[in-house]
Every structure is written in structure tokens, then in C-alpha cells.
Amino acid sequence: MKKFLLFIMLFQLLLTGCMEKEILDDVNLVTAGAFDITDNGQLRGVANINTYLKDQPVEDQLLSQEAELSRDILSDLQKQSTNPLVLGKLQIVLFGESVAKSGINELVDTLQRDATISERLLLVVTRGEAKGILESDFSPQGASEFLTNLILHNKNHLDVPKSNLHMFLYQYYSKGQGAYLPILKRKDNTVEIDGLALFDQDKVVGEISNERMFFFKTLADNYTKGSYTLALPTSEEKAGIMSISSSRKLKLLSTEPLKVEISIHLEGFINEYTGGEITLKIAKDAEKEFEEIIKRETLAMIEQFKALKIDPIGIGDEIRSKSRSFSIDEWEDKISELDVEVKANVVISETGVIH
């Protein structure tokens, strides 16, 4: 009896595998998408389809369609496809500069209403047209895998803060935090990260440069890994700080006037140093200099947020959680009045490599 049941279970697994293969062979999986506004004011959607051939690099097939409404694009793209287009494997969506500045709410709303699309879908903004990004050479990986790995690598090991469809929707609907997305640009025939786009509701109103993304991440997200090259003014040498981990806490000092204290704690070790021996004094000098840079750069960014009346690091949400008298409905008008004090505590190991 047990052998019979085992046979039935194995037969069902084989049958399920055959059914899945048959279904995949009969559809075109869209793995990346892009949206732009054309010169004539139409919305252009681009679908990237991966074609897999035995012992061959992944081939990207691009389908493009223009329409006045986003809901018409997919149905019009279907007319160009030999098989039904399916969005269940969509990994990344690119919003061209023109779309991002005019508003992406309608497009994001369309994505979230499709139950087959994952909440972990990556969203990005592009310099210029998003279509141009997908037209780059991504062999042998294909566009979706290359772009997804680019974002995830820089999120997990470098300065890009966490972001996806789920987080964007939370930030968009929150009254106490604004949204942000990575910016991609085409360079020659490849693609690279070029800063962070800052949103007011669903429109891009500002950005953070690559040089400042490290400090933005210390405010908006916790570092688990990271690196920074620090110039030491006392010796004119440079120290490479690795394995950076960070955390930040917010303390509400006053509601009238509105004042908060942001404390940033950062740890790492010196793995490269352009001078001689890495002494305890050098490590202490590095800590002090790094603390001053963190305070200066984070305060400068907060002033930028206040001028734009946006809150991408979620100060409003944290104040609301700490004060019952605070009205989140008035937060947008109160952002410019906010007084912020930044404290930084840096702990750096003196161990490392002399270079």
C-alpha cells in the first residue's frame, strides 16, 4: 500500500511538471517594463521579454506601444505578441524622467492591482528615456537580471537604500514619510546608478547625488555592510573604512517649537591606509573626522528636505509615534519649521592593512 501511495505521489509531481512546462511554452513572460511620455504627449510602454535558447545568451525582445491611458498599453502590446503576455515574472519597472516628473501614481496603481505582480517588484527612475535603458546591451544575462542584480548588489553592499513596490506604496500613502527610488542612467552601452530620486507624493521634485547617498542611507536605512573613503585633514592621508554597520534613533525634544534629535551610531574598521602604521591615534582621528562629516552632510540634506517640504526619512511618522498631541495632517506645513540636532558616534577599529 505504501509503495502504491508513493507511486501516485511521484506520478502527480511528474504530471505537474509537464503541465507547468506546457503553460510556460504557451506564454511570453514580461520580466522588465518601462514607461515614457513621448513628444506628442502620449504614454509609451515597453515590455521586455526574455528568450532562452539552449547554450545561448539570453535574448531580449522589446515590444513598444503608445496610448493615452496606461490600461490600454498592455492590451495593445498583446496584439504584437505571438503568445499571451504574462506579468507574473515582472522583476523591475523603469519610469522615464518625463513620467517621473509628471506623476507615476496611475502606473503604480495599475501594478499593485495585478495580483500576479510581486510586492518586491523593483521600481527605478531613469535619466532621459526609460526605453533607452532597456535598449542597452545586457548579454549574456538579459535586461531584467542585469538591472535587478545591479540594484540588489548596491542595496545589500553599498549605498542604495531599500526600495520596492511595497515600500513605495507605504511611503506614498503615508502622511509622515515621502518616497524615494534609485536613478539609473545609460553610459556608453551599459547602465549605472546615478543617485536617488526624491518624491513629493508621486512626482520627482529633487534628488540625492551618488556622493551623498552614503549619508542618506544612514538616515533612512540601516547599514549592514558598507564602505567609505575618509580623508584625514590632520595628516593628509586617506583611510578606507569597511564592514560599516549603522543605526539611527530619533528623540523628540519639543513639539512647540518642533525639535528633534537624531543620533547616528556607526561601526567599521580601517582596512586600507595610505600612510604608515595604523595607530590608535589615527583610528581616533578617523572617528572624530567621520563624526563631523556625518553631522555636516546629514544636516545639509535635512535642510534640502525642509526647502522641498518633503520627508523621505520618515521623521513625521516617528514624531507621531512619540506624541499624541502631534497632528500628522499638518506635518507638510510644519516640515520647514523643524529644528534638527544631529549627534554622531563612530567606532572604528585600528586593525587593517597598510597600503
Place of cell 549619508: 215
**Pairing mode of beta strands 28-37, 92-95:** parallel
Q: CB of 318 within 8 A of CB of 250?
A: yes
pLDDT tens digits for range 299-330 = 999 999 999 999 999 999 999 999 988 999 98
pLDDT tens digits for range 22-42 = 355 678 899 999 999 999 999
Mean pLDDT of 262-268: 95
Q: CB of 218 within 8 A of CB of 267?
A: no
Mean pLDDT of 100-107: 95
Mean pLDDT of 102-122: 93
Q: CB of 205 within 8 A of CB of 310?
A: yes
Q: CB of 124 within 8 A of CB of 182?
A: yes
Superfamily name with CATH number, domain 211-355: Nutrient germinant receptor protein C, domain 3 (3.30.300.210)
Please give the mean pLDDT across all residues of the chain. Answer: 88
pLDDT of residue 338 exceeding 70, the answer is yes
For residue 16, the model assigns a pLDDT of 44
What 8-state DSSP symbol labels residue 38?
Answer: -
pLDDT tens digits for range 169-217 = 999 999 999 999 999 999 888 899 999 999 999 999 999 999 999 999 9
Farthest-apart Cα atoms in the chain, separation: 81
Mean pLDDT of 248-274: 93
Coil/strand/helix, residue 301: helix
pLDDT of residue 101 exceeding 80, the answer is yes
pLDDT range class, residue 83, cuts 50, 70, 90:
confident
Which of 158, 159, 168 lies closest to 120 in space, CA to CA? 168
pLDDT of residue 15 exceeding 80, the answer is no
pLDDT range class, residue 55, cuts 50, 70, 90:
low
pLDDT of residue 2 exceeding 60, the answer is no
| Beta partners for residue 59, in sequence order | 51
pLDDT of residue 221 exceeding 70, the answer is yes
| C-alpha–C-alpha distance, residues 206 and 171, integer Å | 16
For residue 234, the model assigns a pLDDT of 73
Domain extent listing, the chain: 27-208, 211-355
